[in-house]
């Protein structure tokens, strides 16, 4: 069962295309002050090593906007400038050579300002993300009759009004996001908007809370949209390190079958039936298999590690390589067929050897 993706325009962010049939891109965000060029560049390199394909930076003042020029010269990843409140910062960021800017319709909305930004982005040939947040939409609408409308209608309406303003300036290089902190609201906002335009979507869930619960919330929301075929680039926001955000983003993309980033291990939760230290075996295998030089193209290798004979052989048979343990030893399966028995102690090396042959 594969995902039927929503049809969208294609938008280019530096050398990364999003939308259309392009892979859903993994986006990260630096958590350093942008004006601190060295720290920011170091974090960008670390984000790239973790798997980020696009990186966003907060631009709070003129010193941040100026720093973008040096950061751009050395950055291995396309840069997105995150702009709020001050339209002049958008212009300055564009002049510094960034690959995309993000505007928040909740705090930069005057027609002349938006038109000036659109013209600057058009001549620099970079896209603009119309990045709504439920929080700032509410703030902006506070005290108006709009307040009585539902949040979802308000968000879609605000986004559409902003898009029309850009289009009036013959600007069509647009990406849209509609973040809310609640999951049902976020899903409803993106689903509604998916019927109202064909611009690619940036997916995110804002204000997810402490990291542990944040992973769960982000997985549910982003996962549900991706399974609907909605979403062209994703960024996971956690109150945690930027690298953990990338790890979770990649795990989500793999879980829904949108992308693969390396060998897939399925393993059982262990129970009273398990006769070996499965957690230890899986962790060791997981670490070592990631370091193997396996093929980069085609579907990823599937490895099943199962602790007992109940579901073991069935799961092991559906994988490229599998092992079903009994007491102290395991039966290795290759391409669905029993291959050989090994002791628990020798199992990781035996699986790695077979993985390398197939992989």
> Which of the residues 212 through 251 are near its own copies (CB under 8 A)?
212-213, 215-217, 219-220, 223-224, 227, 237-240, 245, 247-248, 251
Q: Which is nearer to its own copies, 171 or 214 (CB)?
A: 214
- Cα(236)–Cα(26) distance, rounded to whole angstroms? 9
Query: What residue ranges in 251-320 does DSSP mark as E strands?
Result: 264-267, 302-306
Which sign, positive or negative, has the C-alpha torsion 327, 330, 331, 335? Answer: positive
Q: Is 146 in the site for its own copies (CB under 8 A)?
A: no
Least distance from its own copies to the Cβ atom of residue 329, Å: 17
Residue 213 has which token pair?
A: 């619960």
Q: Is 34 in the site for its own copies (CB under 8 A)?
A: yes
Residues 270-309 that bind its own copies (CB under 8 A): 270-274, 278-279, 282-283, 286, 304, 306
Cα distances (Å, whole numbers) of residue 155 to 114, 138, 222: 18, 9, 18
Contacting its own copies (CB under 8 A), which of 75, 134, 233, 347? 134
- Cα(122)–Cα(284) distance, rounded to whole angstroms? 51
The neighbour count for residue 319, using CB atoms within 10 Å, is: 21
Least distance from its own copies to the Cβ atom of residue 167, Å: 25
Q: How far apart are the first and last CA of the chain?
A: 23
Of 110-118, 181-189, 292-300, 342-350: span binding its own copies (CB under 8 A) = 181-189
Of 174, 156, 175, 185, give the one whose Cα is nearest residue 231: 175
> Nearest 5°: phi and psi at 234?
-130, 145
Q: Is 338 in the site for its own copies (CB under 8 A)?
A: no
**Site map 36..75 versus its own copies, x via CB under 8 A:** ----x----------------xxxx---x-----------
Q: Which is nearer to its own copies, 19 or 106 (CB)?
A: 106
Q: Which is nearer to its own copies, 104 or 233 (CB)?
A: 104
Number of residues that bind its own copies (CB under 8 A): 89
Q: Which is nearer to its own copies, 169 or 219 (CB)?
A: 219
The neighbour count for residue 219, using CB atoms within 10 Å, is: 17
Least distance from its own copies to the Cβ atom of residue 111, Å: 21
Say which DSSP state 51 is in: T
Q: Which is nearer to its own copies, 142 or 170 (CB)?
A: 142
Residue 338 has which token pair?
A: 């029993």
């Amino acid at each position: 069962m594969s995902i039927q993706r929503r049809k969208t325009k294609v938008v280019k962010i530096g050398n990364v295309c999003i939308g259309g049939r392009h892979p859903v891109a993994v986006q990260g965000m630096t958590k350093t002050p942008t004006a601190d060029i060295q720290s920011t560049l170091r974090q960008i390199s670390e984000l790239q090593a973790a798997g980020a394909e696009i990186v966003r930076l907060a631009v709070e003042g003129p010193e941040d906007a100026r720093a973008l020029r040096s950061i751009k010269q050395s950055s291995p990843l396309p840069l997105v400038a995150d702009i709020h409140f001050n339209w002049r910062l958008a212009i300055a960021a564009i002049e510094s050579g960034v690959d995309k800017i993000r505007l928040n319709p909740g705090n930069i909305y005057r027609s002349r300002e938006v038109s000036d930004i659109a013209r600057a982005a058009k001549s620099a040939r970079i896209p603009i993300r119309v990045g709504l947040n439920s929080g700032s939409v509410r703030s902006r609408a506070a005290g108006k009759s709009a307040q009585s409308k539902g949040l979802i209608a308000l968000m879609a309406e605000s986004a559409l009004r902003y898009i029309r303003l850009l289009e009036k300036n013959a600007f069509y290089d647009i990406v849209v996001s509609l973040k809310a902190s609640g999951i049902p609201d976020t899903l409803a906002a993106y689903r509604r908007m998916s019927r109202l335009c064909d611009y690619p979507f940036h997916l995110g869930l804002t204000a997810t809370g402490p990291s542990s619960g944040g992973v769960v919330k982000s997985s549910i929301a982003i996962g549900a949209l991706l399974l609907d075929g909605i979403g062209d680039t994703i960024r996971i926001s956690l109150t945690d390190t930027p690298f953990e955000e990338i790890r979770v983003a990649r795990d989500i993309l793999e879980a829904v079958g949108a992308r693969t980033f390396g060998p897939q291990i399925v393993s059982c939760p262990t129970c009273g039936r398990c006769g070996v230290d499965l957690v230890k075996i899986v962790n060791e295998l997981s670490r070592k298999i990631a370091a193997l030089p396996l093929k980069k193209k085609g579907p990823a290798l599937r490895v099943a590690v199962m602790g007992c004979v109940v579901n073991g052989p069935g799961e092991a048979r559906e994988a490229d390589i599998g092992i079903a343990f009994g007491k102290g030893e395991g039966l290795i399966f290759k391409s669905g067929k029993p291959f050989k028995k090994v002791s628990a102690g020798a199992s990781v090396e035996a699986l790695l050897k077979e993985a390398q042959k197939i992989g």
